Structure 1
Amino acid sequence: SMISYLARIGMYSALAGSNNKNGGALVIMILMEVTLPIAAMLVQLGVSRSREYLADESGGRLTGNPMALASALRKLESGCAAPTNTYRENAYASMWISNPIAKSSTLSNLFKTHPSTAERIERLQKLDMELKGLR
């Protein structure tokens, strides 16, 4: 929201200072008005994913058993993997801890608030090796 706010300030400043002879400035300001909020959202989502990784690592270190957390994540994933009722529809996908119908791609991963379960488990396995002194 701060980036959007700054973009608006810049846009209004440029428009107020122009004498309407330079239409290019207006086009640039409109592009900024569209692209900067999207960039801000992507940063916010990236921070959310980083927090999830940090929460996993903190939990693994606190308990001294990151593989227990990995096991819980696997159970959640498998429980959500194949719902057999009407809750498998897109409208209900946001209510699942792990989206049962999501397709993963690099682009779709940018818009997720949580990293994939596989990535989280992989990091927990590395933490387990580190805690056991195997690294």
Structure 2
Amino acid sequence: MSYFRTAILLAAMTALFMGIGFLIGGQTGMIIALLIAGGMNLWAYWNSDKMVLRMYGAREVDAAAAPELYDMVRQLADNAGLPMPKVYIMENPQPNAFATGRNPENAAVAVTTGLIQTVNRDELAGVIAHELAHIRHHDTLLMTITATIAGAISMLANFAMFTGGSRDNGGIGVIGSIALMILGPLAAGLVQMAISRTREYEADRGGAEIGGQPLSLASALQKIAGAAHRIPNMAAERNPASAHLFIINPLSGMRVDKLFSTHPAVEDRVARLVALSKEMGGAQPASQMTAEPTGPWSGSQSRASRGPWG
């Protein structure tokens, strides 16, 4: 079913790409857009995850570089019945995280340094479990390809301003090009919104089941959302088409109405997690399934009860 959704998404985004090409250059523009879209879809399937990780300056870490983070991901992946994903850290003060990869065998989880410094151990486990749920649901391929093509649609719509959409070639003219520059990215954003909102709710539930701690995930969401409005994520601001990848909208400078946000309201997500916690009858904290911190963020003193892991 997840691959069927991906195929439908690719068809919709390709059709939108072709439509913009037609409006810019008529039938010739549509044919060129079709060829570009076909090549882009093939490229995105194999390379979009690597592009997103480079875009955010993510560096891969292993058990030697970040032992407690790596061990936490490994244990939670075992809980989820998943292969061990690659683990990345982004040097970014905004607390946030995302997962990417075309399938569970080629997946990656990326967290920011801001997240490690902001949340406690149980909350971090909740965030990672949420991202692993995305991997288990095969959302990562869907969401990463969406980010790639949505960004291309925005660039193509902006290109219309330089071409003027010549009417002689079946285009829409300068006024139409200006409208297209606004409406093209909006249409791509609506597709992202339709995909991302339901995916986040399901990943919250899946993450709570994998980690066994819905209230810790709820607490992490509240902390991340509060910080995201205060701490800018400049890489995300430069690449807004990828915002839906993150667990919380990273676009701190934008006051987007709930109707057009790629993420559900944090309040709604927290309420669902609280209700889920009651259904589960309580949950064991993640600290009981992971070792005490000993890696690069633990310092010389134990942070089991204070600091970024406490």
State TM-score, norm by structure 2. Answer: 0.28
Q: How many residues align?
A: 114
Q: Which residue of 1 aligns with 2:277?
A: 128
Shift of 1:57: 1.0
1:119 is matched with 268
Whole-angstrom CA distance in 2 between matches of 1:37 and 1:98: 17
Asked whether the equivalents of residues 196 and 262 of structure 2 are also in contact (C-alpha less than 8 Å), the reply is yes
Judging by fraction of residues, say which structure has more helix: 1
The match for 1:93 is 232
Report the Cα offset of residue 41 of structure 1: 1.4
- Cα offsets for 1:63-121 (capped at 9, x unmatched): 233123223334x158639xxxxx94xxx4347x677x8797xx622443433321210
Q: Greater RCO between the two (CA within 8 Å, min separation 6)? A: 1
CA contact (8 A) 1:45 1:112 kept: yes
Partner of residue 221, structure 2: 73
Provide the residue aligned with 2:17 in structure 1. 5
Report the 3-state secondary structure (helix = DSSP H, G, I; strand = E; otherwise coil) of the residue aligned with 1:115: coil
- Where does the alignment leave 5 or more consecutive residues of structure 2 unmatched? 1-12, 30-166, 235-247, 282-310
Q: Give, in angstroms, the shift of residue 62 of structure 1.
A: 1.4
1:42 matched residue in structure 2? 190
1 CA distance for matches of 2:227 and 2:182?
36
Q: Relative to 1, partners in 2 of residues 1:66 and 1:109: Cα closer, same or farther, differing over 3 Å?
A: same
Aligned CA distance change for structure 1 residues 80 and 32 (closer, same or farther; 3 Å): closer
Larger radius of gyration: 1
Segments of 5+ residues of structure 1 without an aligned counterpart are: 82-86
SS at the partner of 2:257?
A: helix
* Contact 1:8/1:33, CA 8 A, preserved across alignment: no
Structure 2 residue identity aligned to 1:38: L
Cα gap change, 1:49 to 1:102, in 2 (>3 Å):
farther
Aligned twin of 2:135: none
The residue type equivalent to 1:73 in the other structure is: L
Query: Greater share of strand residues, 1 or 2?
Result: 2
SS of corresponding position for 1:80: helix
Identity of aligned residues (%): 33
RMSD: 4.3
1:34-79 Cα deviation digits (max 9, x unpaired): 53441221221342333322221111111233123223334x1586
Q: Distance in 2 between matches of 1:7 and 1:48?
A: 23
Which residue number corresponds to residue 148 of structure 2? none
- CA contact under 8 A between 2:249 and 2:262: conserved in structure 1? no
Query: How do 1:54-65 residues align onto structure 2 when only pairs under 5 Å count?
Result: 54-65=202-213
One-letter identity of the residue aligned with 1:4 = L
